[in-house]
Amino acid sequence: MQRLKTVPCLYICGDHSVAGFDSREATAVNAVDLVRGWNEQNADEILVFDLSKNDEEHEASILLLRRICEISECPVIAAGHIRRVEDVKKILYAGSMMAVLNFSGEDGPALLEEVSLRFGQDRIGISVSQPEQLETHEENIRRFASRIVYMGTDPAPVSGTGLHVTWYLPSVPVNDPNAPAGEALLSPEVIRTIKEYGIDGLSLAVLRAQDGPLARLREALRAEGFDTDVLKASMCFDKFKKDASGLVPVVVQDYQTDEVLMVAYMDKEAYETTLRTGRMTYYSRSRQEQWVKGLTSGHFQYVKELAVDCDRDTLLARVDQIGAACHTGNRSCFYTTLAKKEFNSTNPLRVFQDVYDVILDRKVHPKEGSYTNYLFDKGIDKILKKVGEEAAEIIIAAKNPDKEEVKYEISDFLYHVMVLMAEKGLTWEEVTRELARR
């Protein structure tokens, strides 16, 4: 079955965004809301075009791109306004998985080899709209690019390059996006072309977040014989050990904090639906029916990882939980403590978050004699001075053989860094997401 990625497209210009152009008009949208909608519909990637006309708009676009990358649960590919090596650097440092050079002009071909060698071939793609744009530079494209975004009507010339090809389609061959569910969104001619030339990504600029058009497109493509599953499983449901009712229990865990959120059950249909859609779907033993977690409350669970235990009779789902997992409104169903022995948690992220929460509380509720409040009262210059001093202390301590002193100084440094984070409104989640992207 041919794998086909669904790649919605977003245009940005400065700090504004446009969700593409259809046959009627350009529609202004909130980029953040749109990307969140595509996250919920499990887009495979997001293609962002920067339509900036000058450097000032471009700088604003980079800030918006950074925000898009921060909230996107899927890889972001960025194109447009790439004229210098510095532009590629800004795009990649903003969090984009790939920078796409425009081969319709001179800038793209001139930059290709240099940026590929500097940032890696897998981080560089090209966009073309005419077959002749490939002919002169085909050898370099094969050597230094990993993706072609084709914006023409006939992708035949790019299909033989051996590179991944994402076919961008304008709205012309696309049927009414507001058509009833089940109606094909693409013309039969487009479907035939995708199959014939082995296109592995489809990008559309008309897909809005409302009414689930991306999800409907994926279902329509699946009906045409394409593999559009969000997740690929190494084991089918038949390999699991089920209970007498044909069900397998699922332990659900927050993918960031490892907190256990709930326990539910899956049958074969729920398991396969979860893989296909990327949203946790269960079988309700009380109602005797399928249920998508969050369909009523909006508290969906988006799958990050599925695992099975050694006996193959219990699944572990690591998820991105929206809102509360429990019907009572609690984050986790396991909020009632039955017995507890005092202990010190050494989970790094939890310790960092706990200390950071205390610092935030001091900022909101000052306490007399608090050193943290002293730093906040003195302001940013004092905080920066302490961060610099503590960094120097680490360097001095590291010259000594005793690691205990280094441990002490690093702890001091991290505390002062967290005070700086609180002063600047920066969270650990933002920092760890940035580290994960690196």
Do residues 207 and 175 touch, judged by C-beta distance below 8 A?
no
Greatest C-alpha distance within the chain = 74
Q: Is 348-437 assigned to CATH 1.10.287.1080?
A: yes
Q: Is 5-223 assigned to CATH 3.20.20.70?
A: yes
Is the model's pTM score more than 0.85? no
Instruction: Using CB atoms within 10 Å of the CB of residue 177, give its burial: 0 to 12 exposed, 13 to 18 middle, 19+ buried.
Output: middle
Helix H or strand E segment including 251:
strand 248-254
pLDDT tens digits for range 176-198: 445 544 344 677 888 888 888 88
CA distance 191 to 206: 17
Look at strands 16-21 and 5-13 and give their pairing: antiparallel
Residue 211 has pLDDT above 50, yes or no: no
Average pLDDT over residues 408-437: 89
CA distance 120 to 90: 15
Query: CA 421 → CA 20, 363, 391, distances in Å?
Result: 37, 12, 16
Per-residue pLDDT, 23: 35
Per-residue pLDDT, 437: 67
Do residues 128 and 158 touch, judged by C-beta distance below 8 A?
yes
Confidence of residue 173 (pLDDT cuts 50, 70, 90): very low
Average pLDDT over residues 121-150: 88
Per-residue pLDDT, 210: 47
The rounded percent of the chain whose pLDDT value lies above 90 is 50
The rounded percent of the chain whose pLDDT value lies above 70 is 89
pLDDT tens digits for range 11-54: 888 777 665 544 334 445 678 888 888 887 788 999 999 988 88
Angle in degrees, CA 30, 33, 39, rounded to 5: 140
* Residues 6 or more apart in contact with residue 231 via CB below 8 angstroms: 274, 275, 278, 303, 306
Residue 345 has pLDDT above 50, yes or no: yes
CA distance 124 to 140: 12
In angstroms, the first-to-last Cα distance of the chain is 33
Query: CA 163 → CA 77, 134, 151, 186, distances in Å?
Result: 16, 12, 15, 24
Confidence of residue 206 (pLDDT cuts 50, 70, 90): low
Do residues 225 and 190 touch, judged by C-beta distance below 8 A?
no
Residue 401 has pLDDT above 90, yes or no: no
Per-residue pLDDT, 26: 44
CA distance 265 to 250: 5
Residue 311 has pLDDT above 90, yes or no: yes
Residue 172 has pLDDT above 60, yes or no: no
Per-residue pLDDT, 158: 72
Per-residue pLDDT, 288: 94
Query: CA 333 → CA 141, 336, 347, 396, distances in Å?
Result: 53, 8, 21, 48
As given in the structure block, the two tokens for residue 228 are 């559009």
* Residues 6 or more apart in contact with residue 308 via CB below 8 angstroms: 235, 240, 314, 315, 316
Residue 428 has pLDDT above 70, yes or no: yes
Per-residue pLDDT, 41: 79
Q: What is the mean pLDDT of the chain?
A: 86
Kindly report, as residue ranges, where domains of CATH 3.20.20.70 are found in the chain.
Answer: 5-223
The DSSP call for residue 365 is: S
Average pLDDT over residues 92-98: 93
Kindly report, as residue ranges, where domains of CATH 1.10.287.1080 are found in the chain.
Answer: 348-437
Q: Computed from CA positions of residues 340, 344, 348, 350, in that sequence, does the dihedral angle turn out positive or negative?
A: positive
Per-residue pLDDT, 295: 87
Residue 134 has pLDDT above 80, yes or no: no
CA distance 227 to 120: 29
Per-residue pLDDT, 28: 52
Q: How many CA atoms lie within 13 A of 313 on its CB side?
A: 6
Kindly report, as residue ranges, where domains of CATH 3.10.20.810 are found in the chain.
Answer: 237-321
Average pLDDT over residues 92-103: 93
* Residues 6 or more apart in contact with residue 282 via CB below 8 angstroms: 250, 264, 265, 266, 270, 290, 291, 293
Residue 363 identity (one-letter amino acid): K
pLDDT tens digits for range 242-301: 999 999 999 999 988 889 999 999 999 999 999 988 889 999 999 999 999 998 888 989
Per-residue pLDDT, 24: 37
Please state which of the four CATH numbers 3.40.50.720, 3.10.20.810, 3.90.1150.10, 3.10.180.10 is assigned to the domain occupying 237-321: 3.10.20.810
